[in-house]
A and B are shown apart, each in its own frame.
Chain A
Amino acid sequence: MRAVLALAVGAALRRRLQGVVTATVVLLTSATTVLALALLLASAGPFERAFERQNGAHATAALDPARATSGDLTATGSASPVSAAAGPYPTAEITLEAGGTPLPPVMAAGRGQANPGVDDLAVVDGTWLTGPGQIVLSPGLLSGPTPPVVGDTVTVDLPGNPTLTVVGFANSITRSAGAWVWPTEEFLADGIDAATGGTTDGGTTENGPDDGTGSGSETVAVSYQMLYRFAAFDGEPFGGDADEAGVEAALADTVASLPDDALSGSSTHLAAQRSANAAIGTLVPFVVAFAALGLAMSVLVVANVVAGAVVAGRRATGIQRALGFSPAQVVAAVVVRMLLVAVPACLAGVGLGVAAAVPLLTATASAYAVPGSADLPVLAPAATLVAVPLAVAAAALVPAIRAGRLSPVRALTVGRAPAPGRRSRPRRAVASLPLPRPVALGLTSMFARPTRSATTLVALVFGATTAVLAIGLASSLSAFVAASDRIASSPVSVTLESFGGPAGPGGSGEPEGPPPGAETGAGSGTEVDVDGIIATILDEPGTAAAVGTSDVPGVTLVGSGEPLGIRVYHGDATWTGYPILSGRWYDDGEAVASSRMLRLTGTDVGDTVTLTGPSGTARVRIVGEAFANDTGGGATLLMSAAGVAPLAGDLEPRSVEVGLDPGTEPRAYVEGLATALSDTSARPAATADEQENSTVAIMTGLIALLATALCVGAALGVLNTVVLTTREQVQEIGVLKAIGMTPRQVRTMVVVSTVLVGLAAGLVAVPAGTALHSVVLPAMGAAAQSGLPASVLDVFRPAELAALGASGVVLAVLGALLPAGWAARTRPATALRTE
C-alpha cells in the first residue's frame, strides 16, 4: 500500500501540467455543480418553502371597522379553527410620492411587529419600524425611474401630505400588504375614526391604544386586516385537504362570532401560491434546463479529462507492471493519483461555487419574488463534495482497469501513441486532401483517438447547445417584454391623476394590492375633462391614435371562483397591439380573453360566459385569445366600455393609451405632450420608462452567467483533449519542426485539429438548441398558464442560425489556442528528446 501511495504521490507531483488541467476542470465542475444543484433546489417549490419558513397566513381577511371592533377581531384568534392569528392591522390603499414621482398605489398596513408568528416578514434591507413617521416598503416598489431607498422621505398623497421616512424593505410571502407603517400612524387613525364615527372602536390595535387623534376633513378608507393560520392546514398547507373552499370555510367559522357583513374581503394562501407560481413558473423550466445541462456537462468533462489522463499514462503503467506491480495495485495507484488532485480541487471548487451561488440565488430569489429563497441549500455543496470525487474515481477506474490488464510489453511499446493498424481510412483520406499541409495534418488528428474526439464532440455539443439556447432565450425575453408592454403599438400612456395610480400599459406593475373584495381606497371623484385631454393628445404632433382605458376589478365568472379583471377600452383599441393568439378582436358585447383567463377558467374561444360585476350580470361571448401580460398577468378580459356597462355601469377612463406616428421618439413626444397637458392633471409617460422589467434583467443576467459557465466548461474540455493529444504527439511535432514547419504552421495545425469537431458540434447544436428552446419556451408559458405569441417563440433567423452553427468552432478554437501556443513554442530538440 505504501508503494502504491508513493507511486500515486510521485505521479501527481510529476505530471504537473496534467494535474493543473485536471484540477482546473474538477474545480470548475465542482463550482458549476454547486450552482446547478443550488438552482435546482431553489427552484423546487420556492413559494412553499418560504411560506413554511415565514409562517404564512392561510387566510388574509379584510374587515369593516364599522362592523367589528379591534377587540372583537382579536377575539377571533381564539376561534376553534385557528392555530395562530395576527392583527387586527388597520390597512388603507395609499399613493406615495418619492422625489416628486408618484409610486404605484399600495396597500399600507399599520403593524408594529415584523414577526408576530403569522405572516412573518422578511426584512431584506434596512430595519423594521420603531415608531410613527416611518415606513417599510415592499421591494416591488423599487421599480421605476426613481425608486426610493432606505433613508428617503416619501409623501403620502393625502390632505396635509404627511411624510414618512423609509427605514427598510420587507416581503410578505402572501403579499398581505405592500407597505407597513406604525399602527398609530395618524392617517390610519383618522380613517378608523371616520369609519367608526370616532366612537365605535373602543378596543385596541395590536400595538397600543387607538389615540383617536384624527382630525382631517378628508380621510382615507381604512379597513382592518386579520391574518390567520388554521390548524387543519398547518401540517400540509398545499396538499391533502387544503383547498380554497376548505380555507374559506375555516375563515367563515372563525369570523362567525362577528356581525354579518363584517368580513369585507379575504384571500387564501392557495390564491397567493397560484399567483406566485404563475410568475415563478416562467422561470423554473429555464433554470432547470440550464442546471441540467450544467450537470450533464460537468460529468462529461470530468470523465473526459480523467480518462484521458489515465490513458496518457499507459507507458508509466507498463513500467509499473514490469517492476512487479499487480493490476490491482496499478488501478489503485491511478485512482489515488486522480483523487489526490481532484479532492483539493473539488474543495476549492465547492468554495467558489458557494461564493458564486449566493449572488446567483439572490438574483433568482428576486426573480421568483419569494423572500428568503436566496438561502443556499446545504445539500448542494454537500452532494457536490461527495459526487464529484466519486465521479472522478469512477471515470478513472474503467481506463485504469484496462491499463492494469494490459501486458507490460504492450503498454511500454504502444502506450504513447495510437496502436499500429489503427490508421483509419477517413484519416488517410483527410491527410491526402489537397489542403495546406498544416491544415490537412491538423484535420487527421481528429481521427487519431476517435473515442476522445467523440467525448470532446459531446462536450462541445453541450456548450454550443447552451449558446444557442441562451441566445434564443435572451431574444425570446426581449420579444416577451416587447409583446407584454406593447411598446411598439402603445409606447405612451397618460395617467388621469385624480383617479389615483397609473393604469394601462406600464402602470400596473405593483403586485401588492388589497385582498379581493377589500375596499379599493380613495377615489376622490374629482371631475376630469377626459374628452378635452384626449383631444389635446390627438392634436399633439406625432400622435397616431389615443384611447381611454379603465379597469373593472371584482368581476367573477359564474361557476368559477377565479377573480377576473376587465380592461375596458373607451373607443377603438384594435391598434393597441395585443398579440392575438387565436380568434379575433372584440365588438361590443364580446370579449377577448387573456390566455391565463381561458386556462384558469377552462373556457375556450367561442364560449359564452356569464359575468357578475358591481352593477349586475352580463353574458359575454369570448371571440379571441390575447397575450395580455401587462394587465398583471392575471385572468383578464378585454372589452369595450359599451360591452361592460351592464356589469360596471358608466365608467370614465383612468388613463389614455397613445400610439405614435412612425419615427416619433417617445421620450421627446412625452416632453411635448407634458407641456401641452400642463394645465391638466394628466401625466404622460413613455411605457419603457415605467416598465423597468427587473425580472427580465435578472433572467438575462442568469442566462449570461449560466451560459458562460457552460461554455467555459466546454472550452476546457477541448483544452484538455488538445493538451493530451499534443503531448502524445510531441515527438511528431518535433519532427515536423525539424523538417521545417514554422511555429505559426504548428499553431494552425493544432487549432485546426479541433475545427472539424467544433463544426460537427455546431451542426448538432443548432437543431438541438432550437429544439430545446421550442420545448423550454412553451413550458415556461404553460407554467405561467399563458400562451405565447409567435414573436416570442420564433426568434431564430436563418442568418443567426448559421452564425450560431459556428459557435462550436469558436469554442473549439478557444479551447485549442493555449496548447497550440505551447506546441508552437516548444523547441524541436526538446520535443524530440521528450519520452
Chain B
Amino acid sequence: MRLRAATKRYEAGGAPALDAVDLTVNAGEAVAIMGPSGSGKSTLLNLVAGLDRPTSGHVEVAGTVLNRLSESALSRFRRQHVGIVFQFFHLLDDLSARDNVLLPARLGGTPPRAARARADELLETLGLTTRAHAFPQQLSGGERQRVAVARALINRPALLLADEPTGAVDTKAGAQIIDLLRDLNSTGQTVVLVTHDPEVAQHCATRTVEVRDGRISQAVPA
C-alpha cells in the first residue's frame, strides 16, 4: 500500500483533512495509525479503502492506483482486495451471522458452495460455529465484531483495514479482538488499523504511524 503526497480537502480552499501524506505499508505488516480526534486518521483509512478519493496525490493498493478507478471499479476493488472492520460492526440486522459473513462473497459472485465453505471455515476459526444462525441482535458485542472480522476476510483480501475495532466492545471482548488481529497478522495478513488506544497499537501492530493535523508526525516501530 503506497500513498504519495495524498491530500484530501472536504471543501475547496478549506484546510486539508490530509495534507500531502507519504506512507508505504508492505505486505505482511501490521500498522497502527494513531492520532487525536480530527487528526485525519479516518480520512487516511477511507482513501486506502477506496471509500473516498484524494483531492490530489496518489493512492496505490495491491498494485492498483485507486485515483483512476470508477465507482464501480472501486467497489470491485474493495470486494477483491480490501476487508474492512468498523467500530460499530455495521452488520445487517436481517441476516444471520453466517449470511452476514457470506455477503461480500455473494456480491462478488463467488460460487455458493465455495463461499459457504469459506464462511464456515472462518466462523470455526473465530469460534462462532454455534452462533452461525444467530442474528446480530442476539450476539454480544465481541461476537458481532468477530462476525465483522469474518465478513472482512471472506474474500481473502490483501489488506485488512480496521477502524477502532475495539472501540465499541467491553475490555474482555476487546482483548479477544486484539488477539485475533495479531494472530491474523502472524499468518501473513497485512493489517492497517486506526486506533487512539496505545495499548491496542502496541499489541496488534508491528509499526505505528501518528497523524496530527493531517500530516504524519511520527512513524516508529511498535
A positions within 8 Å CB-CB of B: 420-421, 423, 427-428, 431-432, 436-438, 441, 444, 731-732, 735-745, 825, 827-830, 832
Contacts and interface: CB of A to CB of B under 8 A. Distances in A.
Interface stretch (B75-83, B118-126, B177-185): B75-83
Given A437-B106, A737-B75, A829 B93 contact: no
B108 A428 contact: no
Contact of A829 (B46, B80, B152): B46
B150 to A, nearest CB: 12
Contact of A423 (B49, B72, B78, B93): B93
Interface string B102-137: 011011100000000000000000000000000101
A739 B137 contact: no
Given A735-B86, A740-B78, 15 more contacts: A421-B137, A432-B96, A437-B103, A437-B107, A441-B92, A444-B94, A739-B79, A739-B103, A740-B155, A743-B72, A827-B53, A828-B51, A829-B51, A829-B52, A832-B51
B99 interface: yes
Among B49, B51, B155: residue with most chain A CB under 10 A:
B51
Contacts of B51: 737-738, 827-829, 832
Contact of A738 (B76, B78, B92, B93): B78
Contacts of B107: 437-438, 736, 739-742, 745
A423 B137 contact: yes
A731 B90 contact: yes
B191 interface: no
14 contacts: A420-B137, A423-B93, A423-B94, A428-B94, A436-B106, A444-B94, A732-B90, A739-B152, A740-B79, A740-B104, A741-B107, A827-B53, A830-B52, A832-B51
Contacts, number: 85
B92 A732 contact: yes
Contacts of B99: 431-432
Interface in B155-191: 155
Contacts of A741: 75, 107
A428 B93 CA distance: 9
Contact of B95 (A431, A436, A738, A744): A431
B84 interface: yes
Contacts of B92: 431, 441, 732, 735-736
B71 A743 contact: yes
B103 A738 contact: no
A431 B99 CA distance: 9
Nearest to B43: A829
Contacts of B144: none
B146 interface: no
Contact of B90 (A428, A438, A735, A740): A735
A438 B137 CA distance: 22
Given A423-B137, A428-B135, A827-B51, A742 B76 contact: yes
Most A CB within 10 A of own CB, among B80, B86, B96, B155: B86
| Among all A-B residue pairs, the 6 with the closest Cβ atoms | A740-B79, A829-B52, A742-B75, A735-B90, A829-B51, A431-B94
B212 interface: no
B135 A423 contact: yes
B151 interface: yes
Interface string B184-219: 000000000000000000000000000000000000
A188 to B, nearest CB: 82
Contacts of A423: 93-94, 135, 137
A389 B162 CA distance: 50
